[in-house]
Chain A
Amino acid sequence: MSIVTVQLGQCGNQIGFEVFDALYSDSHCPQGLCSKRENEVYQASCKERFFSEEENGGMCGQSIHCPLLFSDITNLFKAKSSMCYSVHGPRHEESIMNLIQKEVEKCDCLSGFFIIMSMAGGTGSGLGAFVTQNLQDHYSNSLKMNQIIWPYGTGEVIVQNYNSILTLSHLYRSSDALLVHENDAVHKICAKLMNIKQISFTDINQVLAHQLGSVFQPTYSMEGSYHYRRNPLGELMENLVPHPEFKMLGIRNIPQMSENSLAYSTFTWAGLLKHLRQMLISNSKMEEGIDWQVRPPLSGLPTLGKVSLNRELHFNTSIANLVILRGKDVHSADLGGFKDPALYTSWLAPVNAFNVWKTQRAFSKYEKSAALVSNSQFLLKPLDTIVGKAWNMFASKAYIHQYTKFGIEEEDFLDSFTLLEQVVASYCNL
Chain B
Amino acid sequence: MGRRRRRVDRGAAVGALPEAIAALSRTLPAGPSPEIFRRAKFDRPEAAPALWQLLFRVLSPLSANGASAPAAQEAQVRVVKSELHSQGYPRRALAQLPEDGSRGSRELLLALAWLLARGPLLERLLAQTRVRLGDEIPLCECEALARPGPPVPRVEADGPVDIRQLQWLMGKLRFQWRKLITSQQEQCALLGKMLRRLESENVRLEAALHWRRQELVFWRWMDTVLGTCPPEASQPTFVPRIPERGAGEWELVARELQALREELRGAAEPRRAAWEARVGGWGPEWSAVQRASREAVGLELAALQRAWERGGAAAQPHGPCRLVKSDAGASGGPGLRAAQVIEVLRSREACLEAVLCQLQRQCRQELARLAGALPGLIWILPPGR
Q: Which residues of A contact B (CB under 8 A)?
A: 1, 108-111, 141-143, 225, 231, 234, 237-238, 241-245, 345-349, 351-352
Question: Which residue, A231, A238, A345, A351, has most C-beta atoms of chain B within 10 A?
Answer: A238
Residue of A nearest to B153 (CB): A352
Nearest 7 CB-CB pairings of A with B: A242-B171, A109-B186, A347-B162, A238-B175, A242-B172, A347-B165, A141-B181
- Quick one: which of A108, A225, A238, A347 contacts B172, CB cutoff 8 A? A238
Contact A243 B154 (CB under 8 A): no
- B11 CB to closest chain A CB (Å) equals 47
* Number of cross-chain contacts by CB at 8 Å: 62
Contact B186 A108 (CB under 8 A): yes
- Quick one: which of B162, B165, B169, B178 contacts A141, CB cutoff 8 A? B178
B residues 168-183 with Cβ under 8 Å of A?
A: 168-172, 174-176, 178-179, 181-183
Task: Decide yes or no: A349 and B156 within 8 Å by CB, A243-B164, A244-B167 being known contacts.
Answer: yes
Complex Cα–Cα for A395 and B178 (A): 42
Complex Cα–Cα for A110 and B189 (A): 11
* Chain A residues whose C-beta falls within 8 Å of the C-beta of B176 in the assembled complex: 238
Complex Cα–Cα for A346 and B168 (A): 13
Contact A109 B185 (CB under 8 A): yes
15 contacts between A and B (CB under 8 A): A108-B189, A110-B185, A111-B182, A141-B178, A141-B181, A225-B147, A238-B176, A242-B169, A242-B175, A243-B167, A345-B164, A346-B162, A348-B168, A351-B153, A352-B168
* Chain A residues whose C-beta falls within 8 Å of the C-beta of B147 in the assembled complex: 225
Residue of A nearest to B163 (CB): A347
- A109 CB to closest chain B CB (Å) equals 4
Complex Cα–Cα for A245 and B165 (A): 12
| Interface residue? B356 (CB, 8 A) | no
- B66 CB to closest chain A CB (Å) equals 15
Besides A234-B179, A243-B167, 7 other CB < 8 A contacts?
A: A1-B182, A109-B182, A237-B175, A242-B170, A243-B164, A347-B164, A347-B168
- B157 CB to closest chain A CB (Å) equals 11
Complex Cα–Cα for A245 and B168 (A): 10
Complex Cα–Cα for A352 and B170 (A): 14
Complex Cα–Cα for A345 and B164 (A): 10
* Chain A residues whose C-beta falls within 8 Å of the C-beta of B154 in the assembled complex: 349, 351-352
Complex Cα–Cα for A142 and B162 (A): 29
- A259 CB to closest chain B CB (Å) equals 35
Residue of B nearest to A241 (CB): B171
- Quick one: which of B151, B171, B182 contacts A110, CB cutoff 8 A? B182
* Chain A residues whose C-beta falls within 8 Å of the C-beta of B178 in the assembled complex: 141-143, 234
Contact B190 A108 (CB under 8 A): yes
- B158 CB to closest chain A CB (Å) equals 13
- A186 CB to closest chain B CB (Å) equals 29
Residue of B nearest to A430 (CB): B164
Question: Which residue, B156, B162, B174, B175, has most C-beta atoms of chain A within 10 A?
Answer: B175
* Chain A residues whose C-beta falls within 8 Å of the C-beta of B156 in the assembled complex: 349
How many chain B residues sit at the interface, stated as a range, is 20 to 34
Complex Cα–Cα for A352 and B166 (A): 13
* Chain B residues whose C-beta falls within 8 Å of the C-beta of A244 in the assembled complex: 167, 171
* Chain B residues whose C-beta falls within 8 Å of the C-beta of A234 in the assembled complex: 175, 178-179, 182
* Chain B residues whose C-beta falls within 8 Å of the C-beta of A111 in the assembled complex: 182
* Chain A residues whose C-beta falls within 8 Å of the C-beta of B181 in the assembled complex: 141
Complex Cα–Cα for A8 and B175 (A): 26
Contact B174 A1 (CB under 8 A): no
Residue of B nearest to A351 (CB): B154
Complex Cα–Cα for A352 and B154 (A): 8
Question: Which residue, B174, B179, B183, has most C-beta atoms of chain A within 10 A?
Answer: B179
Contact B168 A242 (CB under 8 A): yes
* Chain A residues whose C-beta falls within 8 Å of the C-beta of B164 in the assembled complex: 243, 345, 347
Contact A109 B175 (CB under 8 A): no
Contact B186 A1 (CB under 8 A): yes
* Chain A residues whose C-beta falls within 8 Å of the C-beta of B189 in the assembled complex: 108-109
Complex Cα–Cα for A237 and B172 (A): 9
Complex Cα–Cα for A242 and B185 (A): 22
Residue of B nearest to A244 (CB): B171
Residue of B nearest to A225 (CB): B147
Contact B186 A231 (CB under 8 A): no
Complex Cα–Cα for A352 and B151 (A): 10
Residue of A nearest to B151 (CB): A351
Residue of B nearest to A303 (CB): B162
- A422 CB to closest chain B CB (Å) equals 13
* Chain A residues whose C-beta falls within 8 Å of the C-beta of B153 in the assembled complex: 351-352
Question: Which residue, A1, A141, A142, A346, has most C-beta atoms of chain B within 10 A?
Answer: A141
* Chain B residues whose C-beta falls within 8 Å of the C-beta of A142 in the assembled complex: 178, 182
* Chain B residues whose C-beta falls within 8 Å of the C-beta of A241 in the assembled complex: 171
Contact B171 A243 (CB under 8 A): yes
* Chain B residues whose C-beta falls within 8 Å of the C-beta of A110 in the assembled complex: 182, 185
Complex Cα–Cα for A234 and B182 (A): 10
User: Chain B 40-83 against A: per-residue CB contact (8 Å), 1 yes, 0 no?
Assistant: 00000000000000000000000000000000000000000000
Complex Cα–Cα for A404 and B212 (A): 79
B residues 160-215 with Cβ under 8 Å of A?
A: 162, 164-165, 167-172, 174-176, 178-179, 181-183, 185-186, 189-190
Complex Cα–Cα for A238 and B170 (A): 11
Complex Cα–Cα for A345 and B170 (A): 18
Residue of B nearest to A234 (CB): B179
* Chain B residues whose C-beta falls within 8 Å of the C-beta of A1 in the assembled complex: 182, 186
Contact B165 A348 (CB under 8 A): yes
User: Chain B 240-279 against A: per-residue CB contact (8 Å), 1 yes, 0 no?
Assistant: 0000000000000000000000000000000000000000
- A49 CB to closest chain B CB (Å) equals 14
* Chain B residues whose C-beta falls within 8 Å of the C-beta of A345 in the assembled complex: 164
Residue of B nearest to A345 (CB): B164
- B278 CB to closest chain A CB (Å) equals 23
- A142 CB to closest chain B CB (Å) equals 7
Complex Cα–Cα for A241 and B178 (A): 14
* Chain B residues whose C-beta falls within 8 Å of the C-beta of A347 in the assembled complex: 162, 164-165, 168
Complex Cα–Cα for A393 and B154 (A): 47
- B1 CB to closest chain A CB (Å) equals 63
Contact B168 A243 (CB under 8 A): yes
Complex Cα–Cα for A352 and B176 (A): 16
* Chain B residues whose C-beta falls within 8 Å of the C-beta of A351 in the assembled complex: 151, 153-154
* Chain A residues whose C-beta falls within 8 Å of the C-beta of B151 in the assembled complex: 351
Complex Cα–Cα for A142 and B181 (A): 9
User: Chain B 64-108 against A: per-residue CB contact (8 Å), 1 yes, 0 no?
Assistant: 000000000000000000000000000000000000000000000
* Chain A residues whose C-beta falls within 8 Å of the C-beta of B170 in the assembled complex: 242
Complex Cα–Cα for A349 and B165 (A): 10
- B171 CB to closest chain A CB (Å) equals 3
